[in-house]
Amino acid sequence: MRIGMLGAGFIGWGGGIDFLKAYVAPLQRLNDCEIYVFIPQDSWIRKIAREVRYHLRTKVLRRQLGRYSAPYTTHELVDVFRSDHVHVVVYNTYWNVISDLKKAVQEQHIDIIFPTLLDLGRDFPIPWVPYLPDLQHKYYPEFFSDEEIRDRDVSFQQLLHSANCIIVEAQDVKNDLQKFYDVGDTEIFVMPYTAVPEAEWFSLEGVDLDKYHLPEKYFLVSNQFWLHKDHKTAFDALKLLHDEGYMDYHIVCTGKTDDYRDAGYFQRLFEGVQKNKMEDYVHFLGYIPKRDQIKILCQSQAALQPTLFEGNPGGGIAYNAISLGVPIILSDIPVNLELKTPLAYFFKKHSSESLKDAMAGFIGGNKERLQYSQAALMEQGEARLEQLACAVREVLQYNLGGNQS
């Protein structure tokens, strides 16, 4: 069986790439299975069209839009996925994205698409399984333009009508879909939480962190600077810690510093840090190599996840932290509360005071850090991976008539 994983939509941000890579291992456990990752590449026609659209929106319609840059070039993406021993297919996109994809898929004789962020429609020649991330616009419409809200509502409802089934990564997302949309007879599969460490993460002696000039004691925030990630609450909590005398603690941030929806967001955050005279204690590293990020995580006091909204429990940093036995302090939003692990600690969302108290617990020694051996962490990851493989197999069987192993 040949399975096609569609990069379109996922490859634009680091978390999307991690999402695709997380499904490679369970797919490789299927019998007689070959995996093909399809990476779209804009033709010169689409590049020009994109520039014209950006100019119209920013110069003519006077909208404040940031420039969004992908974390990897096409060449780098090929290397990223080939390291997982999968086939990588780069194809050009012109005017009709679905037609271009259909041609590329048929040339490789793909049997099923899993997963995709695109609505491929009922007439697509092979079965396809879409992933729906979250319904953030229903809870935080202020983070979106009116056009984006309309587009998301129309596309989500259409997806539910087009797809035989969809996958989500939290029960909370499934509940929201059933609350806000006409689901009809479309099956919604909630994929199990799968924090799995990579073997190389336990041998990072060769990773040099000196270039980052890290402080000795720090908490880590590994989020792109999206509005909903609520970095400000973490920065304000650190200021409160300093006000109580814990002045040798810092926050280290990794992740891209742009949000296309609000071009000035990061600058305002930075100015707030300066206003509180905390610029020597909040460190912005930008988007860094994964191995560097993992080593920085392992040396932290704990990871912080102050997010206001997620499509899976804790977001990407929670997967990494829990897989490696690193504690994480999370906002108490419903999706995060689906995390069932002694490594997760919760604070009241959007409350710097509550987060400060949680961080102080680690500083004061009230929370003894659990110690896990590499063997134990790998065993836990293996058990989670097997659960995910079983769930993936069930989804594929549902779409292929139940005769695939």
Instruction: Tell me the domain boundaries of the chain.
Output: 2-131+382-400, 199-371
Q: Residue 254 and residue 267: Cα distance in Å, rounded?
A: 16
Task: Tell me whether the CATH fold assigned to 2-131+382-400 matches the one assigned to 199-371.
Answer: yes
Only one residue has tokens 């994205």, namely 97
pTM of the predicted protein model: 0.89
> For residue 350, what pLDDT band results from cuts at 50, 70 and 90?
very high
Give yes or no for residue 113 having a pLDDT over 70.
Answer: yes
What is the pLDDT of the chain when averaged over all its residues? Answer: 91
- Mean pLDDT throughout 31-41? 92
Q: Does residue 107 carry a pLDDT above 90?
A: yes
| For residues 92-108, average pLDDT | 92
**Alpha-carbon gap, residue 139 to 180, rounded angstroms:** 11
* pLDDT in the model for residue 45: 75
- Count of residues for the chain? 405
**Of 313, 328, 312, nearest in space to 367 by CA:** 328
**Which three-class secondary structure state does DSSP give residue 29?**
coil
What's the pLDDT band for 259 if we cut at 50, 70, 90?
confident
Residue 231 token pair: 């970095």
Nearest of 312, 311, 348, 338 to residue 329 by alpha carbon: 348
pLDDT confidence of residue 403: 44
- For residue 405, pLDDT over 50 is answered with no
Residue found under tokens 């006409």: 182
The string of DSSP codes covering 79-126 is HHHHTTT-EEEEEEE-S-HHHHHHHHHHHTT-SEEEEESS---TT-SS
pLDDT of residue 238: 98
At residue 46, the pLDDT reads 66
Least confident of 19-23, 72-76, 397-401: 72-76
pLDDT in tens, 267-321: 999 999 999 999 999 999 999 999 999 999 999 999 999 999 999 999 999 999 9
Percent of the chain with pLDDT strictly greater than 90: 77
Residue with the bigger pLDDT between 14 and 245: it is: 245
pLDDT for res 72: 76
Assess if CATH 1.10.260 describes domain 2-131+382-400: no
Q: Give the tens place of pLDDT for each residue, 320-347.
A: 999 999 999 999 999 999 999 999 999 9
DSSP of 227-284: GGG-HHHHHHHHHHHHHTT-TT-EEEEES----TT-TTHHHHHHHHHHHTT-TTTEEE
* Per-residue pLDDT at 404 exceeds 50: no
Domain 199-371, CATH class in plain words: alpha beta
